[in-house]
Structure 1
Amino acid sequence: MVTCYNGNFKAYFYSEGYLRTSCREFTLNNLANRMVHLTNDAVQKKAEDYGKFEPGNKLSYSEFQSYIDKNHGGLNVCFERDILPQIKKLTTDCFRASWGKMDPYKRFNTFECFGLDFMIDEQ
């Protein structure tokens, strides 16, 4: 959430987010397959196998950590230690880069909720 109070912007990061997932296994064979490559709920909920891997195609941070431990335990990756700090840094960079355009009408005493999308890979 971003607030503007008396012309001062401040951003807040909610501590418990979630990851949207796909109802189909990932593959690069067909990049046009929206059910594989778009995790947006408006797209996913139209699929017959919506929720196939997890309810509502969503994982909490702790559920994602369990997935990492089960499927990639040898990597010794901790979501809170290794991934979330990168997400917070990218979020900060994003809002700092767009501060000047956030409120083009220079309204005071306002707030806006934002959702950002990230792709997680091996790095």
Structure 2
Amino acid sequence: QEYIMRPLLLSGCKFDLRMYLCVVRASPLLVYYRNGYVRRSVYSYDAQDSNLYVHLTNAAMQKKAPRYAEEMENSIWRLQQMEECLVEQGHVAHGWVDSKLVPDIMSMVTEVLQGCKHEIKPFYGSFNLIGFDVMLDDELNPYLIEFNMNPALATSTSVLKAVIPQVVQESLDLVLWAHGVPATPGPRGIAQLSSDVEYCSKPSTLPFPNGQFKLLIDDARGYVWSRSEGKERSSSPRDPCLSPRII
């Protein structure tokens, strides 16, 4: 990775964003995006400081910092809290997260997925919740740092307690919906999902689940998310007609 020499700062501290993808199906590819939260260093930023806790903002690193216990609650922010801070610092206007940041991130990660989708190996009966990390420079340009196939689901702060359970619940609701299975399983039961091929191959007739996931790619319908209204949209991204088989 190339080091970002001029990162955007929150109250003088370096930060990154943990966002989510739910790969509901690998072939044909079906992927949804969801906002996550902000991970902020507990130390003020100084490019010349050799203290790794100043530069590495991921939770696995920050939790080892000597002052983490006393600063833990302030190390995880909501996206709205980040926006308010950046507004106060004069970097952005209100509404920037929804109108600019999220579309920029969705465009970036869609391009990455389109470039590597042929490397995603189908595995019947599975799905994947992916955490991916984004950092911003001082000109508000987003950079994709990494994908994490096993994202942390700890709820050690008030923000994480609010965000993580929703992410997990919405992911499961989305996957079960795509299978055509109610969130509260009936007599067929969730255990039969991977073996009941005939059942899983029928289109879902259930209402699309509530939640914050947004459709990015649905290869079965030739759909790719675009920030431009009317472009590359075969139908509404909130209520697609899908072949629910999950691979």
TM surpasses 0.5: yes
* Largest Rg, 1 or 2: 2
Query: Given the superposition, is the C-alpha separation of residues 84 and 11 from structure 1 closer, same or farther in structure 2, using an over 3 Å criterion?
Result: same
Give the match's secondary structure for 1:85: helix
Q: Percent identity?
A: 23
Structure number with the higher helix fraction is 1
Greater relative contact order (Cα < 8 A, sep 6+) = 1
Question: How many correspondences in the alignment?
Answer: 117
Structure number with the higher strand fraction is 2
Q: For structure 2, list consecutive stretches of 5 or more residues without a partner in the other structure.
A: 1-21, 141-247
> Aligned equivalents of 2:51 and 2:58: distance in 1?
13
Structure 1 segment 12-51 matched on structure 2, within 5 A: 12-14=32-34, 16-30=35-49, 32-50=50-68
Shift of 1:90: 0.9
TM-score, normalisation: structure 2 = 0.43
The residue aligned with 1:91 is 109
Work out which of the residue numbers 136, 142, 147 in structure 2 matches 1:120. Answer: 136
Residues 69-96 of structure 1, C-alpha deviation per residue, up to 9 Å, x if partnerless?
A: 12225x4361211211111111111211
> Aligned equivalents of 1:72 and 1:62: distance in 2?
15
Q: Determine whether 1:76 maps to 2:81.
A: no
> Aligned equivalents of 1:42 and 1:90: distance in 2?
25
Which stretches of structure 1, 4 residues or longer, exceed 3 Å deviation after superposition? 51-54
TM-score, normalisation: structure 1 = 0.81
Residues 53-73 of structure 1, C-alpha deviation per residue, up to 9 Å, x if partnerless?
A: 671511111111111112225
The residue aligned with 1:9 is 29
